[in-house]
């Protein structure tokens, strides 16, 4: 399947067909982030897959690294420990928020919405959960489980990192960490939920929602709904 190389607004789209080592991707992403901030490079959305790796965010707690069977890399993004590996689709989103609403919360909200709408195309109902970053759904046992992780960093109002969605990874690889510091809920995947799709089909669905995602970033994030009052 062939995808365009440019999205709306002259954003470069890169789709890597081979696995990209995490350290190499992080180095390139960091350099590109600085170049965008300096006005020397185009914005970028990069779809890729990593070899197995555990990444540590700025809030990572060493006690949540249960079994470091894979390389552990300091990622520089927000959040705690996350697993990346084969069968997981990663999207790095490097956008200049100076061109849009300067709203970090709105950016994360937009990423969540982009994934939620894409999952809906495959019949997977997913949702945000207050106080728990990421994309959640109902697992095969009916319990809540994470199907997508989100971690971002914003430097000089230019974003980096992004999200990862479990298409068909080895879910046993997640047991080496407490994913995102949340141990009372599990992780799941499209395959576990009965959707045996490949990256091409996922990417096509994701990109069909790209314009809506980008348009949403022009508006500040709506305020969180107040908690309902408890009757006296």
Q: Which residues are annotated as a binding site?
A: 77-84, 149-151, 162-164
CB within 8 Å of 173: residues ≥ 6 apart: 52, 70, 83, 85
Catalytic residue among 111, 167, 180, 216: 180
Determine the Cα–Cα distance for residues 54 and 73; give it in Å rounded to an integer.
6
Residues flagged as binding site for substrate: 77-84, 149-151, 162-164
Residue 132's DSSP bridge partners are 129
Select from 50, 79, 73 the least CA-distant residue to 179: 79
Select from 77, 63, 71 the least CA-distant residue to 29: 77
Select from 179, 169, 195 the least CA-distant residue to 86: 169
DSSP conformation class of 65: B
221 is catalytic: no
* Active site residue ranges: 180
């Amino acid at each position: 399947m062939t995808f365009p190389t440019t999205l709306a607004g002259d954003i470069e789209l890169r789709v890597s067909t081979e696995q990209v080592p995490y350290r190499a991707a992080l180095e390139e992403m960091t350099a590109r982030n600085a170049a965008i901030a300096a006005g020397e490079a185009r914005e970028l959305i990069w779809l890729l897959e990593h070899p197995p790796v555990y990444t540590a965010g700025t809030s990572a707690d060493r006690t949540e690294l249960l079994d470091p069977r894979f390389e552990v890399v300091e990622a520089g993004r927000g959040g705690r420990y996350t697993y990346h590996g084969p069968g997981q689709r990663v999207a790095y989103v490097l956008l200049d928020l100076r061109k849009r609403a300067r709203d970090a919360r709105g950016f994360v909200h937009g990423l969540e919405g982009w994934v939620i709408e894409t999952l809906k195309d495959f019949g997977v109902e997913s949702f945000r959960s207050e106080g728990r970053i990421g994309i959640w759904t109902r697992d095969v046992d009916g319990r809540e489980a994470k199907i997508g992780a989100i971690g971002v960093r914003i430097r000089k109002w230019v974003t980096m990192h992004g999200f990862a969605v479990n298409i068909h990874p080895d879910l046993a690889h997640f047991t080496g960490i407490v994913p995102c510091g949340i141990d009372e809920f599990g992780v799941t995947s499209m395959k576990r939920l009965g959707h045996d799709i490949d990256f091409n089909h996922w990417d096509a669905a994701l990109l069909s929602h790209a314009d809506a995602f980008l348009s949403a970033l022009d508006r500040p994030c709506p305020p969180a709904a107040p908690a309902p009052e408890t009757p006296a």
